[in-house]
Structure 1
Amino acid sequence: MAEILNLNQARKAKTRTDAKIKAVENRAKFGRTKADKALDAARADKLKRDLDGAKRED
């Protein structure tokens, strides 16, 4: 015989797990400190300056 399943509880459990998964993704995407963001910006700026400095003039 099949197991009895409360659909309301199953729906709420699925919503909870989906919210936890989204929270993990958002922490990875947006959970960086201001110092980390500044460091990445500084590295990108230095890379751009180095690349522009290496260009040859026509």
Structure 2
Amino acid sequence: MAVPKKKTSKSKRDQRRATWRRKAAVEAQKALSLGKSILTGRSTFVYPSKEEETEDEE
């Protein structure tokens, strides 16, 4: 017979949400930092430009 599971406590729920939000904030900060470095030209990140993409198609 089916038995309902125990209710998750609010503190456990909040702990999981805090972890998720912390991970999301770190990733957002990394993306912003990368975007800023690309715009200033100080980046060592290599990304394809539009000219390179059109040359490959020809």
Task: Name the TM-score class by shorter chain.
Answer: 0.3 to 0.5
Q: TM-score w.r.t. structure 2 length?
A: 0.48
